[in-house]
Amino acid sequence: MQTNDHACNKLSLLTPIGYQHGDCGYCKAEDSSQRTPNSRASYYASSNSLCPHHYQILMDRGWRRSGTILYLPDAARSCCPHYTIRLPAADFKSGKDQRQSLNRWNRYVLGEKYIKEASIKYPKSKAEKKQENDFNLLSTVHEPERTTVKPDIPPEHIFTVTLEPDDFTEEKFALFDNYQRHVHHEGDDDISKAGFKRFLCSSPLHRHNSNGSKPLGSWHHCYRLDGRLIAMSVLDLLPHAVSGVYFLYHSDFEKWSFGKLSALREAALALERGYEFYYMGYYIHGCRKMRYKGDYRPQYVLDLHEFTWDPLDDEMRRLMESRSYASMSKERARMASLEGKESGGDEPPSKASKQDVDAAAASDDPANVAGEDIKHPIPLEASSSGLSLLELGMPGLTPLPDLHRQVDLDTMQVHLGRDGVHEMQDIVSWHSGAETESRSIKGAIAEYASAVGPEIAKEVVCDFSR
């Protein structure tokens, strides 16, 4: 469907899959002896046709995609809660180790001979030297590229970075094959061209340019050294975001900290192309290998109850460590409840202590607001309970009263194959079930609308033709 000025001239189609539980790969990687299976759950949908504008809305509600599958993790029922984070590109402050990695790579590409000759032939002014001391992300990132080097001084290597369609090529698959074998230690049974295509090529996002110049959709950011593809980022470019999907590099270049180099380049891409934010995927505080994303600052964490953004600071990290999942809006409600109890409703509330909050969080009293986190059933129990997600209270869902105020479920659009697009109320069995009956059509659509949110529910066609 065409949406405002984003030039999406194709239908956005989503097929609800539903709520499913499964094993968690993150906690197993940390300490498999301490974890039990079936410890995570998500709500799933799939799409073969999706406008980048619509995917932007979904990401800002906690969703991500893997190939054509989209999913919203259930933060309340996960051993390793997934937090959507984003970095405002204009505010990015690089760390010392990040700058060192970038400068080390630049020196390797350019070579000592080039650097020496350039300093003699093109001496810097005092103003330029002062500016050089103040790290500039864009100029440093582009310094070793073929289009930037001095035309009359040959560098040690020819380095290019290009934004290309996310199409399959043998060159890209060879890089993927090497990366999966050497970094993830996979074998022949795990690596295939079909799997590579399904996972990292042929995205459902419509690829086009917004206003004729700003690329949108899914792309491959390809790094070539002396004509050889040595690394590649898979990126979703959205109206307000550069979203990192996956990154792979050749094992020959493992020592060059390409993870840091790619993150800096993607932040730079967001800054220079006007995407505003850089999304690095989920931040998983309970997994040491995923905490590095917090080193790119300032990061902000999505609150799944108010859909607002809070700083990933020391306070947020403490909250992540002390709660089953962190929500600043819930924490403010807890604090307000404790302060109200202290004041007895007659006096101005005083500030509750950390000990008060921790004691309340550990309470088994169902009436205690601060005890909410420990009341959620585990994923296996939740998925087999027969309860609607609207009754389970999954974070990230729009509550039914709010949904009623914003969406008319009867007039939501559904695609029925050759019969085309209709309204839900045209389905014969539409009125035979209740919104909280998850096994009825109306119940399934109510869950779907609650998970994707009012804007998507009203604009995107629900696809039952697949």
- Chain segment 211-236, per-residue pLDDT in tens: 767 999 999 999 999 999 999 999 99
Same domain, 101 and 67: no
Same domain, yes or no: 33 and 162: no
For residues 90 and 72, state if they share a domain. no
Q: For the CA atoms of the chain, what is the radius of gyration? A: 25
**144/271 same-domain check:** yes
- Domain co-membership, 294 together with 400: no
Res 374 pLDDT > 70: no
**Per-residue model confidence as pLDDT tens digits over 27-61:** 755 554 544 444 789 999 999 999 999 999 999 99
Please tell me the pTM assigned to this model. Answer: 0.90
> Could you say which of 285, 304, 323 is where a domain stops?
304
Q: Whole domain around residue 133: which residue ranges?
A: 86-166+203-304
- 40 and 145 share one domain: no
- List pLDDT tens digits, range 272-313: 999 999 999 999 998 888 999 999 999 999 999 999 999 999
Question: Is 98 part of any domain?
Answer: yes
Give the residue from 256, 278, 304 where a domain finishes: 304
Query: Same domain for 26 and 138?
Result: no
Together in a domain, 35 and 119 = no
* pLDDT single digits (tens) 409-463: 999 999 988 878 999 999 999 999 899 998 899 999 999 999 999 999 999 999 9
Query: Quick one: 122 and 259 in the same domain?
Result: yes
Structural domain ending residue among the three candidates 249, 273, 304: 304
Q: Structurally, how many domains does the chain consist of? A: 2
